[in-house]
Protein backbone atom coordinates (compact mmCIF):
# COMPACT_ATOMS: atom_id res chain seq x y z
CA UNK A 1 0.00 0.00 0.00
CA UNK A 2 1.42 3.43 -0.90
CA UNK A 3 2.12 5.25 2.35
CA UNK A 4 1.31 8.64 0.79
CA UNK A 5 -2.24 7.70 -0.16
CA UNK A 6 -4.75 9.77 1.75
CA UNK A 7 -8.45 10.35 1.32
CA UNK A 8 -8.83 13.95 0.17
CA UNK A 9 -12.24 15.71 0.09
CA UNK A 10 -11.06 18.00 -2.71
CA UNK A 11 -9.96 15.09 -4.89
CA UNK A 12 -13.14 13.14 -4.18
CA UNK A 13 -15.33 16.17 -4.86
CA UNK A 14 -13.60 17.33 -8.07
CA UNK A 15 -15.93 16.87 -11.06
CA UNK A 16 -18.40 14.97 -8.85
CA UNK A 17 -21.60 15.76 -10.72
CA UNK A 18 -24.06 14.38 -8.16
CA UNK A 19 -27.41 15.99 -7.45
CA UNK A 20 -27.60 15.04 -3.80
CA UNK A 21 -25.00 12.67 -2.38
CA UNK A 22 -21.62 14.19 -1.57
CA UNK A 23 -22.52 17.84 -2.08
CA UNK A 24 -20.52 18.27 1.12
CA UNK A 25 -17.66 15.90 2.00
CA UNK A 26 -15.80 15.62 5.30
CA UNK A 27 -12.73 13.43 5.91
CA UNK A 28 -11.60 12.63 9.45
CA UNK A 29 -8.18 11.31 10.35
CA UNK A 30 -9.67 9.14 13.11
CA UNK A 31 -13.09 8.83 14.70
CA UNK A 32 -14.90 6.24 16.82
CA UNK A 33 -17.57 5.87 14.13
CA UNK A 34 -18.53 7.83 11.03
CA UNK A 35 -22.19 7.00 11.76
CA UNK A 36 -21.86 8.77 15.10
CA UNK A 37 -20.41 11.84 13.38
CA UNK A 38 -23.27 11.82 10.86
CA UNK A 39 -25.78 11.71 13.71
CA UNK A 40 -24.34 14.99 15.04
CA UNK A 41 -25.31 16.69 11.76
CA UNK A 42 -28.74 15.08 11.51
CA UNK A 43 -30.85 17.87 13.02
CA UNK A 44 -30.06 20.26 10.19
CA UNK A 45 -32.03 19.25 7.08
CA UNK A 46 -29.59 21.22 4.95
CA UNK A 47 -27.08 18.42 5.61
CA UNK A 48 -29.01 15.99 3.41
CA UNK A 49 -26.50 14.04 1.32
CA UNK A 50 -23.55 14.81 3.59
CA UNK A 51 -20.74 12.26 3.13
CA UNK A 52 -18.36 11.58 6.00
CA UNK A 53 -15.17 9.55 5.50
CA UNK A 54 -12.52 8.44 7.99
CA UNK A 55 -9.07 6.95 7.63
CA UNK A 56 -9.65 5.03 10.84
CA UNK A 57 -12.54 4.02 13.08
CA UNK A 58 -11.69 3.06 16.63
CA UNK A 59 -15.11 1.54 17.40
CA UNK A 60 -16.55 0.76 13.99
CA UNK A 61 -19.62 -1.47 14.10
CA UNK A 62 -21.70 -3.72 11.90
CA UNK A 63 -25.19 -5.13 12.26
CA UNK A 64 -26.37 -6.41 15.65
CA UNK A 65 -23.49 -4.69 17.41
CA UNK A 66 -20.73 -6.68 15.74
CA UNK A 67 -17.30 -5.09 15.41
CA UNK A 68 -16.13 -3.85 12.03
CA UNK A 69 -12.43 -4.69 11.65
CA UNK A 70 -10.28 -2.23 9.70
CA UNK A 71 -6.70 -1.02 9.88
CA UNK A 72 -5.66 2.55 9.32
CA UNK A 73 -6.01 3.77 5.70
CA UNK A 74 -6.82 0.34 4.30
CA UNK A 75 -10.56 0.81 3.66
CA UNK A 76 -13.31 3.10 2.55
CA UNK A 77 -15.10 3.93 5.80
CA UNK A 78 -17.95 6.34 5.28
CA UNK A 79 -21.44 7.38 6.28
CA UNK A 80 -24.10 9.11 4.20
CA UNK A 81 -26.71 11.27 5.92
CA UNK A 82 -30.24 11.42 4.48
CA UNK A 83 -32.41 14.00 6.23
CA UNK A 84 -35.08 14.03 3.52
CA UNK A 85 -35.56 10.48 2.30
CA UNK A 86 -38.74 9.63 0.40
CA UNK A 87 -37.94 5.90 0.15
CA UNK A 88 -39.06 3.33 2.69
CA UNK A 89 -36.36 1.49 4.61
CA UNK A 90 -36.54 -1.72 2.57
CA UNK A 91 -36.19 0.02 -0.79
CA UNK A 92 -33.43 2.21 0.58
CA UNK A 93 -31.54 -0.90 1.70
CA UNK A 94 -31.84 -2.50 -1.75
CA UNK A 95 -30.78 0.64 -3.60
CA UNK A 96 -27.70 1.12 -1.44
CA UNK A 97 -26.64 -2.52 -1.82
CA UNK A 98 -26.88 -2.22 -5.60
CA UNK A 99 -24.97 1.08 -5.54
CA UNK A 100 -22.11 -0.26 -3.41
CA UNK A 101 -21.84 -3.47 -5.45
CA UNK A 102 -21.63 -1.55 -8.72
CA UNK A 103 -19.08 0.91 -7.33
CA UNK A 104 -16.77 -1.94 -6.31
CA UNK A 105 -17.18 -4.00 -9.46
CA UNK A 106 -15.18 -1.78 -11.81
CA UNK A 107 -11.92 -1.45 -9.83
CA UNK A 108 -12.09 -5.10 -8.80
CA UNK A 109 -12.48 -6.19 -12.44
CA UNK A 110 -14.83 -8.90 -11.21
CA UNK A 111 -18.56 -9.29 -10.76
CA UNK A 112 -19.71 -8.30 -7.30
CA UNK A 113 -22.76 -9.90 -5.72
CA UNK A 114 -25.22 -9.00 -2.96
CA UNK A 115 -25.89 -11.16 0.04
CA UNK A 116 -29.10 -9.80 1.52
CA UNK A 117 -29.49 -7.74 3.55
CA UNK A 118 -26.19 -5.87 3.79
CA UNK A 119 -23.11 -7.76 2.54
CA UNK A 120 -21.29 -7.29 -0.75
CA UNK A 121 -19.56 -10.42 -2.01
CA UNK A 122 -16.49 -10.66 -4.26
CA UNK A 123 -15.15 -14.04 -5.39
CA UNK A 124 -17.35 -15.73 -2.79
CA UNK A 125 -16.07 -13.63 0.13
CA UNK A 126 -17.27 -10.51 1.91
CA UNK A 127 -15.63 -7.34 0.63
CA UNK A 128 -18.04 -4.74 2.03
CA UNK A 129 -20.87 -4.23 4.48
CA UNK A 130 -23.63 -1.68 4.96
CA UNK A 131 -25.12 -0.55 8.26
CA UNK A 132 -28.43 1.33 8.30
CA UNK A 133 -29.40 3.40 11.29
CA UNK A 134 -32.39 5.70 11.67
CA UNK A 135 -33.32 8.49 14.05
CA UNK A 136 -36.64 10.17 14.67
CA UNK A 137 -36.10 13.94 14.68
CA UNK A 138 -38.89 16.50 14.91
CA UNK A 139 -41.50 14.06 13.62
CA UNK A 140 -39.50 12.81 10.64
CA UNK A 141 -37.09 9.91 10.08
CA UNK A 142 -33.44 10.53 9.32
CA UNK A 143 -31.34 7.72 7.83
CA UNK A 144 -27.61 7.17 8.23
CA UNK A 145 -25.97 4.74 5.81
CA UNK A 146 -22.66 3.37 7.07
CA UNK A 147 -20.47 1.71 4.45
CA UNK A 148 -17.23 -0.20 4.90
CA UNK A 149 -15.27 -1.42 1.86
CA UNK A 150 -12.10 -3.50 2.22
CA UNK A 151 -9.47 -2.03 -0.09
CA UNK A 152 -5.83 -2.70 0.82
CA UNK A 153 -6.10 -5.59 3.27
CA UNK A 154 -4.08 -8.73 2.90
CA UNK A 155 -5.23 -12.07 4.26
CA UNK A 156 -3.26 -11.59 7.49
CA UNK A 157 -4.95 -8.20 8.00
CA UNK A 158 -8.14 -9.97 9.07
CA UNK A 159 -8.70 -11.75 12.39
CA UNK A 160 -8.12 -15.50 12.11
CA UNK A 161 -11.85 -16.23 12.28
CA UNK A 162 -12.49 -14.03 9.20
CA UNK A 163 -9.58 -15.00 6.97
CA UNK A 164 -11.58 -17.62 5.08
CA UNK A 165 -14.65 -15.44 4.58
CA UNK A 166 -13.33 -11.89 4.06
CA UNK A 167 -11.39 -10.34 1.20
CA UNK A 168 -10.31 -6.98 -0.21
CA UNK A 169 -10.32 -5.33 -3.62
CA UNK A 170 -6.51 -5.49 -3.79
CA UNK A 171 -6.49 -9.21 -3.00
CA UNK A 172 -8.99 -9.99 -5.74
CA UNK A 173 -7.77 -7.58 -8.42
CA UNK A 174 -4.04 -8.14 -7.97
CA UNK A 175 -3.45 -4.38 -8.03
CA UNK A 176 -3.76 -1.41 -5.66
CA UNK A 177 -7.09 0.37 -5.80
CA UNK A 178 -7.13 4.18 -5.67
CA UNK A 179 -9.36 4.93 -2.69
CA UNK A 180 -10.10 8.51 -3.76
CA UNK A 181 -11.34 7.30 -7.15
CA UNK A 182 -13.35 4.55 -5.48
CA UNK A 183 -14.90 7.06 -3.07
CA UNK A 184 -15.93 9.23 -6.02
CA UNK A 185 -17.48 6.24 -7.81
CA UNK A 186 -19.28 5.24 -4.62
CA UNK A 187 -20.90 8.66 -4.17
CA UNK A 188 -21.92 8.82 -7.83
CA UNK A 189 -23.39 5.32 -7.69
CA UNK A 190 -25.32 6.06 -4.50
CA UNK A 191 -26.65 9.29 -6.00
CA UNK A 192 -27.83 7.47 -9.13
CA UNK A 193 -29.52 4.55 -7.40
CA UNK A 194 -31.19 6.62 -4.67
CA UNK A 195 -32.67 8.87 -7.33
CA UNK A 196 -33.73 5.81 -9.32
CA UNK A 197 -35.40 4.34 -6.24
CA UNK A 198 -37.56 7.43 -5.85
CA UNK A 199 -38.61 7.34 -9.51
CA UNK A 200 -38.90 3.62 -10.34
CA UNK A 201 -38.50 0.98 -7.63
CA UNK A 202 -38.77 -1.80 -10.24
CA UNK A 203 -35.39 -0.83 -11.70
CA UNK A 204 -33.83 -1.22 -8.28
CA UNK A 205 -35.41 -4.60 -7.54
CA UNK A 206 -34.58 -5.89 -11.02
CA UNK A 207 -30.92 -4.94 -10.61
CA UNK A 208 -30.88 -6.43 -7.12
CA UNK A 209 -32.15 -9.73 -8.58
CA UNK A 210 -29.33 -9.67 -11.13
CA UNK A 211 -26.75 -9.37 -8.34
CA UNK A 212 -28.30 -11.55 -5.63
CA UNK A 213 -26.48 -14.71 -4.53
CA UNK A 214 -29.59 -15.94 -2.72
CA UNK A 215 -32.30 -15.68 -5.35
CA UNK A 216 -33.35 -19.17 -6.38
CA UNK A 217 -31.45 -20.82 -3.52
CA UNK A 218 -32.35 -22.31 -0.16
CA UNK A 219 -31.96 -19.86 2.72
CA UNK A 220 -32.00 -20.29 6.49
CA UNK A 221 -32.65 -17.16 8.51
CA UNK A 222 -33.59 -15.87 11.92
CA UNK A 223 -36.58 -13.58 12.20
CA UNK A 224 -37.42 -12.25 15.65
CA UNK A 225 -35.38 -15.12 17.15
CA UNK A 226 -37.27 -17.80 15.20
CA UNK A 227 -35.60 -19.87 12.48
CA UNK A 228 -37.12 -20.23 9.01
CA UNK A 229 -36.03 -22.37 6.05
CA UNK A 230 -37.12 -21.92 2.48
CA UNK A 231 -36.29 -21.05 -1.10
CA UNK A 232 -35.62 -17.40 -1.88
CA UNK A 233 -38.06 -16.53 -4.65
CA UNK A 234 -37.81 -12.77 -4.75
CA UNK A 235 -37.64 -9.41 -3.07
CA UNK A 236 -40.35 -6.87 -2.30
CA UNK A 237 -39.35 -3.18 -2.14
CA UNK A 238 -41.63 -2.63 0.86
CA UNK A 239 -41.74 -5.97 2.69
CA UNK A 240 -38.29 -7.45 2.12
CA UNK A 241 -37.03 -10.92 1.20
CA UNK A 242 -39.60 -13.46 0.00
CA UNK A 243 -39.20 -17.10 1.00
CA UNK A 244 -41.27 -20.06 -0.08
CA UNK A 245 -41.31 -22.11 3.11
CA UNK A 246 -41.26 -25.89 3.34
CA UNK A 247 -45.01 -25.79 3.97
CA UNK A 248 -45.52 -24.11 0.60
CA UNK A 249 -46.51 -20.80 2.18
CA UNK A 250 -44.80 -17.58 1.19
CA UNK A 251 -43.46 -15.22 3.85
CA UNK A 252 -41.87 -11.78 3.77
CA UNK A 253 -38.86 -10.87 5.94
CA UNK A 254 -37.82 -7.26 6.49
CA UNK A 255 -34.13 -6.45 6.77
CA UNK A 256 -34.29 -4.73 10.15
CA UNK A 257 -35.46 -7.83 12.03
CA UNK A 258 -33.76 -10.58 10.02
CA UNK A 259 -30.36 -12.25 10.08
CA UNK A 260 -29.15 -14.80 7.57
CA UNK A 261 -27.87 -18.06 9.07
CA UNK A 262 -26.86 -19.61 5.73
* Alpha carbon distance 60, 33 (integer Å): 5
Neighbours of 189 (CB within 10 A): 23
116 to 122, 169, 201, 241: CA distances (angstroms): 14, 20, 17, 8
Give the rounded distance of the alpha carbon of 69 from its chain centre.
Answer: 15
Q: CA 137, CA 1: separation in Å to the nearest integer?
A: 41
Superfamily grouping for domain 9-210:
Bira Bifunctional Protein; Domain 2 (3.30.930.10)
pTM: predicted TM-score of the whole model, two decimal places: 0.93
* Domain boundaries, given as residue ranges, for the chain: 9-210, 214-260
Residue 68 has pLDDT above 80, yes or no: no
When the candidates are 3.40.50.2300, 3.40.50.720, 2.30.30.100, 2.40.70.10, the CATH number that belongs to 214-260 is 2.30.30.100
61 or 145, which is more confident: 145
Q: What is the pLDDT of residue 2?
A: 44
pLDDT digits (tens, 9 = 90+) for 165-183: 999 999 999 999 999 999 9
Query: pLDDT value at position 211?
Result: 96
> What is the pLDDT, as a whole number, of residue 162?
87
Average pLDDT over residues 231-243: 96
For 92-128, give one letter per residue: b (16+ CB within 10 A) or e: bbbbbbbbbbbbbbebbeeebbbbbbbbbbbeebbbb
Amino acid sequence: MPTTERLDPDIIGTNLSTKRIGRKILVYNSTPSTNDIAAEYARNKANDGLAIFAEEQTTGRGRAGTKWHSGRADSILCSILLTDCKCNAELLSLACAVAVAEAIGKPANKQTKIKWPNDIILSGKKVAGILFESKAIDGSTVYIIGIGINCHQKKKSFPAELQQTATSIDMESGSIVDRNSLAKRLLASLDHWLETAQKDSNKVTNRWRDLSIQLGHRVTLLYNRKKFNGNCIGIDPEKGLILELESGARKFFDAAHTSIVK
